[in-house]
Structure 1
Amino acid sequence: MINRVLQALQEPESYDEDVKEIKLIQTHISFVFLTGDYVYKIKKPVNFGFLDFTSLEKRKFYCEEEMRVNKAIAGEIYLGVMPIVETSEGRIKVNDTGRVVEYAVKMIQLPQSAIMSNLLKENNVYKKDVVEIAKLVADFHSTANRGEEISKYGSYEQIMANWTQNFEQTENLTGEYLDKEKYLELKDRVINFMDSNRELFERRVREGKIRECHGDLHSGNIFIVRRPGKLYKPGIYIFDAIEFFKGFSCSDILADIAFLSMDLEFNGRDYLDKSFVDAYFKFSDEEKLENLLDFYKCYRAFVRMKVTGFMLFDENVDEEEKIKIRGLVKKYFELAGKYATLL
């Protein structure tokens, strides 16, 4: 059935609005259809352990979860969960009457040129932009869900387990791709910081600083729209918050902002990073724990290194692409190492 749905959604008559051109983009977990005015995002029927979209019921649930977590920070562009049905005539249609065969999250389509990662390459992101982003994130964090079930993800034990897994999954990069001595030095600094600051992690839990956050807050998930469109206004739109795994979305609020902070520095925009962080602490009235922020920036850079490094062992990635990947792995590692020296 999924193949029929994919084929149908590439045909304009399958939609309940006027569609002239359709573009399909795939991620490892989604099929994303761009129709000009709207985006329809369907979850792939996959199971990666930390997420399970293998049944229609589960895909519906996580579509609804995606709406819930993103409405809080990008409510204007998230429109709803649309049923995709097989009509009595046997046609596949969006938001029509018939047997439901799939679900899609419907969003307003914003211009790809307005994605922050693209604007950074053009040197077209300014202090006022990151200050506005900081305000949005601070407001989002202030009302984000918290509680006992969420707090456990920020515990000393859980964070140490995360780092242990990170080290186990990247040890094979040492030697050929990473300097082993620097790798071990980073590892020692991280573990020493955690052991020396166990009370700090426990205090963050007690004070309710562990919340259901965005979880994937980087420049590729932010639109900075300068001009109005038919369905949207100029402004900042932060999208694609993680809905499928609490272990990714639930964290210390500083771990959430650490992702974008690290990303800005990775892109050579240290001055924007400083403006973003300073503005966040101003708007949130949070304690400015720079050491803890550096710790989480180290974590974010290391995880990006790890995930990027996985592609070095993917047989479907050609050698030319792997040369670029090696460069990214090294750059993320060096950035993680820099943060580690500050701990």
Structure 2
Amino acid sequence: MVEELAKSLGGALVQTHTSWVIILKDIVYKVKKPVNFGFLDYSTLEKRKENCDKEVVLNRRLCPWVYIGVVPISEVGGKWRIEDDRNVVEYAVKMRRIPDKRLLLNRLGETTAEDMVKVARVVAEFHLSADRVDEFGKPEVMKFNTDENFMQTEKYIGTTIMKEDYEFIKDRTDRFYETYEELFYKRIKEGRIRDGHGDIRLEHVAFLEEGVCIFDCIEFNDRFRYGDVLNDMCFLSMELDFFGREDLRGVYEEEYLKRTKDPEFSIFLPFFKCYRAYVRGKVTSFLLDDPHVPEEEKEKAKEKARKLFKLARRYAQEIKLT
């Protein structure tokens, strides 16, 4: 039905493991698939509608110009019709299409320090005004995530991560909790645990005529969006390092610190960057176990995962332990 709908609209259809995306000249419709992965549940029409609504509300915080709203899809005469409420069978998020050339990922070569200052200001102001979610700042909450990472990547030792690096990163991470337990609670008390974006990556930052747009935040699981503001902002730092733009990363971090005046910035930043690089290394390693991924793609994934884990090791070395 979705394929037929895309064809009737004259659009291209792109699929992810969670959505169908119909791309037109100026508009994009995103339809959620009826799937349940545990951490994400779109299994009923009611849940899909709820998550469509949530996606629009949350993303308008950082990208108000792109998210138009939620529209119904009806089945009429055996065919799906978009923005028709006669016999609703699905819902879609309606968005303005962002040109590929506007994405930070596709313009790294021409992005200036001034551009990154603008991005940092947007992220900083967002974090300063976002809702507090104090309970998600407890060290045991973060440790649950890092413990899970180490458990899930043990099988890749010798394939995408060296045993020495695995043990080094794990040791530095565990010692960080012991060394700075009091600072975790200080950050909670000072309101540095917020409802953030959850996925501030190069491909989710766009430079539009209206301003900097940061889109596609995590709506399907609050736990992945809630946390320390530095953990939210530094995903972009890590990706800039990964793509060799340490100069832009430096500008971004400097301006963010200038705006937020975060007293633990230098202590927590390498810890969270290590976490972000490690997660990406883990997720990329997962592709090696997917029977649907061609061998050529698996080789590329293996090299990328190795590079990400080496980056995590570099950040782990920067963690200050007393």
Equivalent position of 2:115 in the other structure: 129
Q: Is 1:66 matched up with 2:52?
A: no
Equivalent position of 1:111 in the other structure: 99
Unaligned stretches of 5+ residues in structure 1: 13-20, 226-232
Residues 146-203 of structure 1, C-alpha deviations (whole Å, 9 max, x = no match): 1xxx322221011111111000000011023321022101110110111111111111
| Aligned 8 A contact 1:259 1:300 in 2 | yes
Unaligned stretches of 5+ residues in structure 2: none
Of residues 4, 10, 23, the one that matches 1:34 is 23
Residues 59-96 of structure 1, C-alpha deviations (whole Å, 9 max, x = no match): 00000110111011101111100111123x44421112
User: Aligned partners of 1:340, 1:71: CA distance in 2, in Å?
Assistant: 35
Residues 245-297 of structure 1, C-alpha deviations (whole Å, 9 max, x = no match): 11110010000111001111111011100100111112233335212011000
Q: Determine what percentage of the aligned residue pairs are the same residue.
A: 42
Equivalent position of 1:230 in the other structure: none
SS across alignment from 1:332: helix
User: Aligned partners of 1:292, 1:285: CA distance in 2, in Å?
Assistant: 13
User: Aligned partners of 2:14, 2:273: CA distance in 1, in Å?
Assistant: 30
Of residues 294, 301, 308, the one that matches 2:277 is 301
User: Aligned partners of 1:95, 1:325: CA distance in 2, in Å?
Assistant: 39
Q: Is 1:326 matched up with 2:302?
A: yes
Measure how far apart 1:304 and its partner are.
0.2
Measure how far apart 1:234 and its partner are.
5.3
Equivalent position of 2:90 in the other structure: 102
User: Aligned partners of 2:123, 2:3: CA distance in 1, in Å?
Assistant: 35
User: Aligned partners of 1:288, 1:92: CA distance in 2, in Å?
Assistant: 53
Residues 127-155 of structure 1, C-alpha deviations (whole Å, 9 max, x = no match): 11111111111121122111xxx322221
Query: What TM-score do the two structures reach when normalised by structure 2?
Result: 0.96
How many residues align? The count is 319
* TM superposition outliers: structure 1 runs of 4+ over 3 Å: none
| Aligned 8 A contact 1:291 1:342 in 2 | no
Equivalent position of 1:276 in the other structure: 252
Amino acid of the structure 2 residue aligned with 1:140: F
Measure how far apart 1:114 and its partner are.
1.8
User: Aligned partners of 1:160, 1:281: CA distance in 2, in Å?
Assistant: 25
| Aligned 8 A contact 2:2 2:20 in 1 | no
Equivalent position of 2:14 in the other structure: 25
Q: Is 1:248 matched up with 2:224?
A: yes
Measure how far apart 1:97 and its partner are.
3.4
Measure how far apart 1:33 and its partner are.
0.8
Query: What TM-score do the two structures reach when normalised by structure 1?
Result: 0.90
